[in-house]
Amino acid sequence: MASERSVSWTVRAGAFLYRSLAATWRIRTHDAEGLRAARAAGQRVIFALWHGELLPLLWQHRGERVAIVISEHKDGEIIARIAESLGYETVRGSSSRGGGRALIGLMRQIDAGFDGAVTPDGPRGPAHVFAPGAAIAAQRTGALIVPIRAAASRAWRLKSWDRFLVPKPFARVDVSYGLPTAVDVATPREAAEDAPRLQALLEAVPGS
């Protein structure tokens, strides 16, 4: 019970600080035409983003019926609750823990009409290495992968494996998109083999 109270207090405080900080950011979007066209056509998408750029991108797509895969680790519980307070559906698991369950949960949410979001190098890296889960989910559901990156004019960098990006107050935050891309193969195995191509597409988008 005490642990749950501690987590709840941390979530409330974290959500308040995050909202207060994010409200000061000056966000500019780049090359979002492909995303807008896909959504206008009723096409589901899966955002692919590096774990280290998660914080500003959570703010960018809050309240848009997006289901995001969040780690089952302790820190993931706090991030998941903050994400839920921003209007996200959360699916728990990762490539290293609970991965199969998370993949099934994500596909169910997409089939139910949500977009998806995955950090394919999370929760513990290696940084900027594209694990195949997002590719498999796209192949199974027909959703398009949308690479998305963030950069900030002024930011703190945590001393973590992903050098987690925290834009400073009143920073300019640039959010950039790659073209939506299909994983147009016959089997999940072939989708997994497509991960290096998707990694290259994500790396080609300007980011931090």
Domain-embedded: residue 168: yes
CA distance 134 to 120: 7
Residue 99 has a pLDDT of 62
Into how many domains does the chain fold?
1
CA distance 99 to 140: 15
Domain-embedded: residue 208: no
Residue 82's H or E segment, with its range, is helix 74-85
* Residue 4, Cβ density class (10 Å: 0-12 exposed, 13-18 middle, ≥19 buried): exposed
Domain-embedded: residue 190: yes
CB-based contact 110:66 (threshold 8 Å): no
Closest C-alpha among 111, 109, 142, 134 to residue 202? 134
In this structure, which amino acid lies at residue 122?
G
Number of residues that make up the chain: 208
Domain-embedded: residue 26: yes
Helix (H, G, I), strand (E, B) or coil at 59: helix
Kindly give, in sequence order, each residue whose CB lies less than 8 Å from that of residue 197, ignoring residues fewer than 6 positions away: none
Boundaries of domain holding 38: 2-203
Model's pTM, two decimal places?
A: 0.94
Domain-embedded: residue 78: yes
Residue 95 has a pLDDT of 52
Summarised one tens digit per residue, pLDDT across range 104-155 is 999 999 999 999 999 999 888 899 999 999 999 999 999 999 999 999 999 9
Give, in order, the Cα–Cα distances in Å from 22 to each of 17, 50, 124. Answer: 9, 19, 25
The pLDDT confidence band at residue 8, using thresholds 50, 70 and 90, is: confident
Residue 113 — left, alpha, or beta (φ > 0 → left; ψ -120 to 50 → alpha)?
left
Q: Output Rg (C-alpha) for the chain, integer angstroms.
A: 16
Closest C-alpha among 7, 17, 120, 31 to residue 69? 120
Summarised one tens digit per residue, pLDDT across range 155-172 is 999 999 999 999 999 999
Domain-embedded: residue 129: yes
The tokens for 49 are 């983003």
